[in-house]
A and B are shown apart, each in its own frame.
Chain A
Amino acid sequence: MYYRRTLTDAQINRELLDVVFRTPMWWVVIVSCLGLIVAGAASAFGFMMNQGLGVTGLQQPIFWGFFITNFIFWVGISHAGVMISAILRLSQAEWRRPMVRAAETMTVFALMTSLLQPLIHAGRPWRIFYWVFPYDWARGIWPDVRSPLVWDPTAIITYLTSSSLFVYTALIPDLAIIRDRSTGWRRTVYGILALGWHGNPRQWKLQGIAGILLSALILPVFVSVHSIVSWDFGVSLVPSWHVTVFAPYFVIGAVHSGVSAVVTLMILMRKLYKLENFIWEEHIDAVARLLIVVATAWLFFFWLDLVFALWLKEEQEMTVWHLRLFEPPWSWLFLAFIVFSYIIPVPLWMFRRVRRSFTWMLWTSLMVNVGMFLERLIIIVPALMRKGPWVFTYDTYRPSAVEVTLIVGSIALVALLLMLFSKFFPLIPVWEEKEGQKLIDEVKVGDRVIPALVKEH
């Protein structure tokens, strides 16, 4: 039986809703700093729009660089949501409770940020609506459904819609709690958002069904989104992109980086919002054990990708892998990528002491995501540098200051949105915690102590 600390309902309410009812100084400071970075990135974007994409480090054979890397990266991060909330909910993993909302919220914000990346990256972003929205407003022509770039927004907007619904459905009981505890305009706003929730049995039943249904509906998305994103590469003619293993390889890599990002987020939130009573060593331990499996599966697919190339010995493909593995600076980046995303963190996670240390887990999970960003960069850029025998330009890609600013800005944007969200809504679901408590309540019958609630399976 899973060990649980006993908390009263009042204590849960107080500790989880604390930040909703008062604004600590550190929150204001962090939000302003993040806001400044986002504003800086927005002006960098404005500068790029004004001058043209010449301000990036992109050049003739390397048409895709940091922005597409970042796009893949954030879609990858977003996979945490479906992994944690849908799969763990359906498999009834008890330890998921404190992290479902954080994971789902991060999913939503990561997806929003990832959708921004192709927009930033496009040559004429002001015309992007012709591409994303398949409505024949004025041009007399529809988007070309053969293009993976049409599949992308379809997949991502599906995921975004279902994730937003998921977050919202799970939020309703908590919104009602906040409504009941607030006055004035705040009561009105939360009242409208709570959709008249009174917590009667019928509402609980519907909410439960909605949660399970949405989990089940999100499951196909779990497979589809990153598969489709990988097809941006898989269906192309570029050597080393043109491989069938990319879809599962990308999906599992996305789970690897996404779940690691949830670990980072949970540890930071625990520190900031003083959630020691809700996020324990046991939770992080459980996620870390999941991560060992995910990371190893991911390594297997990475290995397959490499082996397929070596097996074929196709000349151009070998040239790309040679660049990746042996030619600096790519060889250094490659080393950093494999060391950060697997060689350092996974063996460390084998130790219980590491898995239960918040400091170790914070740094290893951050390391994984640095590695995974590099992974995407190494997939994209070297392949383009050697995509054909006719690349007579042997220059390398150097991201410009504008690109770096926009990458930093995208990280700050997700962090900012998460800070804002966690200010107005509890990041740990109050009702889920209470439900968890109910499951471990015990009653004395005669001389026996038995669980107060029998969970249906």
Chain B
Amino acid sequence: MATRTQSTRADHKWGMVIDLDRCTGCQACVIACQSENNIPLNDQSAFLDGRAIEWIRVERYWEGDYPDIKARFLPVLCQHCDNAPCESVCPVYATYHNNEGLNVQVYNRCVGTRFCGNNCPYHARLFNYWEPVWPEDLRNQLNPDVTVRTRGIMEKCTFCIQRIRRSTRGGKQVEDQAFNPACVQACPTDAMTFGDLNNPDSRVSQKWEDERAFRVLEALGTNPSVKYLKQVDAHA
């Protein structure tokens, strides 16, 4: 597929498929991401202020009318768009597309104009309004592979780039499913699949072609690297 691989130089093109028919909305992915990526604890006030930082969040919406009503869940993370609206508006190249199909955020370059946040239709980009703090007894659980972000900069899901780097360092060949981002690893219902879309045999490549597959806000033409699977039930 032409749309799948814009970056041809690299060996990899990372992508994800999320099966919404399997998602139970348990939020395990949210917690896993939180601890893997050194995201400060979101207490009640962070949510009330509208400043909670969640690289992946589970959006809940309702289908049908009471009493025949169903809760539906949609885990939303950075879609790593191949045609990312956030990238072209950053004046300092703090966010750009790397040749593995990742939309990467360079914290040291970021000056905090927040234009990328405005331009992301998925609300995947988050701003550090305060200096991050952790309770004393949680200090030692910080992941040494992940930068602790200072206040005043944007951050977002990286597809756990630290795990990608560690596994592929020095051009090492990796087998499919040899590693996964924290959210995928934590998913109890196996709803999320991560892998290399350039490898036609990978699990993610196979699910990518599933007839239930769709992309969110596809009409915007952002060409995301994340697809969702959902059985459309005409009688729901």
A-B contact pairs, 20 of them (CB 8 A): A52-B129, A56-B129, A60-B123, A63-B114, A63-B115, A63-B118, A64-B114, A122-B111, A122-B113, A123-B111, A124-B110, A124-B111, A131-B113, A147-B88, A147-B115, A149-B115, A236-B89, A236-B115, A237-B220, A390-B59
B113: A residues at CB distance < 8 A: 118, 121-123, 131, 149
Contact of A392 among B59, B112, B220 (CB under 8 A): B59
> Which residue of B has the minimal Cβ distance to A232?
B115
**Is the pair B123, A122 in contact by a Cβ cutoff of 8 Å?**
no
**Is the pair B85, A236 in contact by a Cβ cutoff of 8 Å?**
yes
- Cα(A142)–Cα(B93), bound, Å: 8
- Proximity bits, A109-122, B CB within 8 Å = 1, else 0: 00000000010011
Secondary structure of the A contact surface, majority rule: loop
Number of contacting residues on B, CB 8 A? 39
> Which residue of B has the minimal Cβ distance to A241?
B118
B151 CB-CB contact with A under 8 Å: yes
B76, B129, B153 — most chain A CB neighbours (10 Å): B129
> Which residue of A has the minimal Cβ distance to B88?
A146
Q: B residues within 8 Å of A by Cβ? A: 49-52, 59, 76, 85, 88-93, 109-115, 117-119, 121-123, 126-131, 150-154, 217, 220
B150: A residues at CB distance < 8 A: 124
**Is the pair B112, A141 in contact by a Cβ cutoff of 8 Å?**
no
**Is the pair B50, A53 in contact by a Cβ cutoff of 8 Å?**
no
A118, A148, A390 — most chain B CB neighbours (10 Å): A390
A310: B residues at CB distance < 8 A: none
- Proximity bits, A55-66, B CB within 8 Å = 1, else 0: 010111111100
A450 CB-CB contact with B under 8 Å: no
- Cα(A59)–Cα(B113), bound, Å: 14
Contact of B49 among A59, A149, A392 (CB under 8 A): A59
- Proximity bits, A228-239, B CB within 8 Å = 1, else 0: 000010011110
A148: B residues at CB distance < 8 A: 89, 115
Given A58-B129, A393-B50, is A388 in contact with B117 using a C-beta cutoff of 8 Å?
A: no
- Cα(A148)–Cα(B119), bound, Å: 12
B121: A residues at CB distance < 8 A: 237, 387-388, 390
Q: A residues within 8 Å of B by Cβ? A: 51-54, 56, 58-64, 118, 121-125, 127-128, 130-131, 139, 141-144, 146-150, 232, 235-238, 384, 387-393, 395
Report A404 CB to chain B, min CB distance, Å.
18
- Cα(A139)–Cα(B94), bound, Å: 12
B126: A residues at CB distance < 8 A: 60
B128: A residues at CB distance < 8 A: 52, 123
- Cα(A139)–Cα(B152), bound, Å: 19
Given A61-B50, A141-B109, is A53 in contact with B89 using a C-beta cutoff of 8 Å?
A: no
Report B18 CB to chain A, min CB distance, Å.
15
**Is the pair B93, A144 in contact by a Cβ cutoff of 8 Å?**
yes
> Which residue of B has the minimal Cβ distance to A119?
B111
Given A124-B153, A393-B50, is A54 in contact with B111 using a C-beta cutoff of 8 Å?
A: no
- Cα(A235)–Cα(B86), bound, Å: 11
- Cα(A149)–Cα(B119), bound, Å: 13
Q: A-B pairs with the 4 shortest C-beta distances?
A: A123-B112, A123-B152, A59-B50, A63-B114
B109: A residues at CB distance < 8 A: 130, 139, 141
- Cα(A390)–Cα(B121), bound, Å: 8
Contact of A384 among B110, B118, B131, B151 (CB under 8 A): B118
